[in-house]
Chains A and B, each alone.
Chain A
Amino acid sequence: MARIILDTLSKQYPNGVLAVDALDLTIADGEFFALLGPSGCGKTTLLRTVAGLENATGGRLLSDDRDVTHLPPGKRDIAMVFQDYALFPHMDVADNIAYPLRIRGEHRTQRRAKALETGTGLGLENLMDRRPGQLSGGQQQRVALARAMACQPSVFLFDEPLSNLDARLRLEARTFLKKLQKDLGVTTIFVTHDQAEALAMADRMAVMELGKIRQVGTPAEVFHRPANTFVANFIGSAPMNLLAGETADDGLRIGGFTVPFPHDSPRLPPGTPVTLGARPEYVDVVGTSTPGAMAGTVTIVEYLGATALVSVQIGDERVPDGADPVLGLTVQAMVAEGTEPQIGARIGVTHQPNRSLLYAADTGDLVSGTGSGTGSGTGSGIPGSTAATVSTTP
């Protein structure tokens, strides 16, 4: 098991793309760490650089204080599960799992026995002489896992290992993977672009944008206190409402309405442009004349099962016929199923000041916010988390 330290690690491709931009990050021994970010932000590149499949163009990579920046992949004591699993199509499951042992020169019967042992742990014992092409997606994924486990590495790297599974299997695999990682206690870096996956599985996570890390923290921290509007927008099943406005003496002016400050907002001079961040889950539907409410017209109601997502166009007038209802200032509110208003209804919406955040309009950085009900603070208690610095964009 190992602690991984990235020290101003950079990777620039020959074509000039700076896919990993001077990252500092410490991943603790035994930690399940998720890398999250939109497509093309450099997650795969970072993972491949850690694996040694790409050569870092700057900085250092330490594994338990050992500098591995320039070691070949095979010498890093790392196992990687690829997005397409990369199971060798010409070998059966046992040979696939045993492949790392073959490289180490173990005898065939011995390594097949070990493969069976590993495979049995993952419920693969009856599939040992099938070819990868004869396996379902979920089975292939477990074979890939078994192969990674077979060489008993000190670090696992996973590149979107669940993205080839259907929605239901993905949920199962999530639980399974997390439990497996906890049992083995192997440091794990997990790349995903699915924020729900990262929130559900990770001990800590980093949100990346354009080769930089925009926030590092526990899932709860990242969910409840997004460090900037980018993260705020990226995390959450429905994106956070980000409402442009400006400060006044008695509250925030947004779309002609005055709403309360989020708790713990610093005192800002009146007229400062800010962005209010409020998750749809923490927006309440109220009467139009409720104090501190923004009034508007319901334009869309999306049924989500137990809840419904209501989009409200803020303003005094009804939406004129034919106008695009999503233009203009729109607030989304998550309400319990059965309580949703009719389309076209005039309603008011309020944010919960103890759960909403204030961002600087120009930088998009968090200026204030309250700790959430789950009570996570800045320190997470996980070793190494304080060493992780959050890069800020200029």
Chain B
Amino acid sequence: MTATAARPAAVPLGPPPSMVVKKFVSRVLFYVVIALLLVFFMLPMLWIVLAPFDASPSLTIKLPDFSTGNFSELWHNPYALRSLLNALIISLGTMALVLVFGALASYALSRVRVPGRDALLYALLLLSSIVSGTAAMVPIFLLMTNVHLIDSQLGVVLVMTGGLLPAAIFILKDFMDATPRSYEESAKVFGASPLQILRHVVIPIARPGLATIAVWALVNAWGNFLVPFILLRSADKYPAAVVMYTFYTEGGQPKLGLISAFSLMYSIPVVIAYLVVSRRYGFRFHGGIKS
């Protein structure tokens, strides 16, 4: 809707001058509010685009004294790049598991009537919002210690997959439910087997949903701090989320140059992933797309 469409068309004689003034003032106020909100949301983020290029970054947001020194510092830091790679391994692993298991389960649940299916799904969804939060960190810590998956990236992937799967199944099932059955039936009439139907018809048609879930899982795993923080011990296995908090001097002062460049490098992939999916498939809104 455009700005003018919201207002009734002007009457031929024109409204009385007081109303014109009033309308003008409210319009100005409206944009002032929008501008203030924009500042509120943008201000904290400015640092991450300015400070990395500053020769001597401080915490204050200021125009940079341009230099790429921070990035070369990042390049030479033994943990920084390693941690980005770790984050990539962990989040790609999580994404793959969530996608494959989530797609299979949601398809089966969408098509075959299982008694108590909806109750089960809701219960799992509920549990996931808790466990992927904080409440279950103690037993998860103990569980992983006992099965010797502590300090293992596989352990991190498995725990995050378990936490993300219910919501993924929930959302994917919506997609599967919305796929017209006649596609599958038509393939079936031509003699396709269930697996052929899945490969040829269901998965390609559910692709936007799968892409959404892929990015969702990726972004979640990429940014998750708590699970690797609790489950990993060795610094060379830490993903970026955890490593960021190790960039301090012996005196406890943050190494701002390193942190700023690292934050930027760490943030770019999620933004790109998001942009790709929303460009390609349009931004489709799903309840609970990010937990």
Contacts and interface: CB of A to CB of B under 8 A. Distances in A.
B191 A84 contact: no
A257 interface: no
B205 A79 contact: no
Contacts of B133: none
Contacts of A51: 185, 189
B106 to A, nearest CB: 19
B111 interface: no
Interface string A79-103: 1101110101111000000011011
A82 B185 contact: yes
Interface stretch (A15-23, A70-78, A199-207, A306-314): A70-78
Interface in B170-212: 180, 182-183, 185-192, 196, 200-201, 204-205, 207
Most chain B C-beta atoms within 10 Å of own C-beta, residue among A51, A73, A104: A73
Contacts of B205: 88-90
Given A88-B201, A90-B205, A90-B207, A80 B187 contact: no
Contacts of A53: 185, 188-189
A210 interface: no
A151 interface: yes
Contacts of B189: 51-53, 73-74, 78-80
Given A100-B190, A104-B191, A86 B180 contact: yes
Contacts, number: 60
B187 to A, nearest CB: 7
Contacts of A73: 185, 188-189, 191
A99 B182 contact: no
Contacts of B196: 103
A280 to B, nearest CB: 38
Contact of A86 (B185, B191, B200, B204): B185
A103 B182 contact: no
B182 A74 contact: no
Nearest to A144: B186
Contacts of A75: 191
A80 B187 CA distance: 10
Contact of A100 (B180, B182, B191, B204): B191
Interface residues of A, number: 25
A70 to B, nearest CB: 15
A114 to B, nearest CB: 14
A48 B182 CA distance: 11
A13 to B, nearest CB: 13
A79 B204 contact: no
A98 B182 CA distance: 18
Nearest to B191: A74
Nearest to B113: A14
Nearest to A104: B191
A79 B190 contact: yes
Contacts of A100: 190-191
B181 to A, nearest CB: 9
B180 A84 contact: yes
Contacts of A78: 189
A74 B186 contact: no
A361 B182 CA distance: 43
A82 B186 CA distance: 8
Given A102-B200, A103-B196, A86 B188 contact: no
Given A102-B200, A103-B196, A88 B183 contact: yes
B183 A86 contact: yes
A79 B186 CA distance: 8
Given A88-B204, A88-B205, A89-B205, A103 B190 contact: yes
A17 B196 CA distance: 32
Nearest to A101: B190
Nearest to B182: A86
Kindly name the residue among B182, B201, B207 whose own CB sees the greatest number of chain A CB atoms within 10 A: B182
Contacts of B180: 84, 86
A99 B204 contact: no
A78 B185 CA distance: 12
A185 to B, nearest CB: 20
A80 B186 contact: yes
Nearest to B190: A100
Contacts of B200: 88, 99, 102
B141 to A, nearest CB: 44
A88 B182 CA distance: 10
Nearest to A83: B182
Contacts of A80: 185-186, 189
Contacts of A83: 182
A127 B151 CA distance: 57
A74 B185 contact: no
Interface string A29-53: 0000000000000000000100111
A74 B188 contact: yes
A103 B192 contact: yes
Contacts of A90: 204-205, 207
A178 B160 CA distance: 59
**Quick one: which of B180, B185, B204 has the most chain A CB within 10 A?**
B185
Contacts of B182: 82-84, 86
B187 A99 contact: yes
B196 to A, nearest CB: 7
Contacts of A79: 189-190
B199 to A, nearest CB: 11
16 contacts: A48-B185, A73-B188, A73-B189, A74-B191, A78-B189, A79-B189, A82-B186, A84-B180, A86-B180, A86-B182, A88-B200, A90-B207, A99-B200, A100-B190, A102-B200, A104-B191
Given A83-B182, A84-B180, A86-B182, 4 more contacts: A82-B186, A86-B185, A86-B186, A99-B200
Interface of A: 48, 51-53, 72-75, 78-80, 82-84, 86, 88-91, 99-100, 102-104, 151
The 6 closest A-B pairs by CB, nearest first: A74-B191, A86-B182, A86-B186, A90-B204, A100-B190, A82-B182
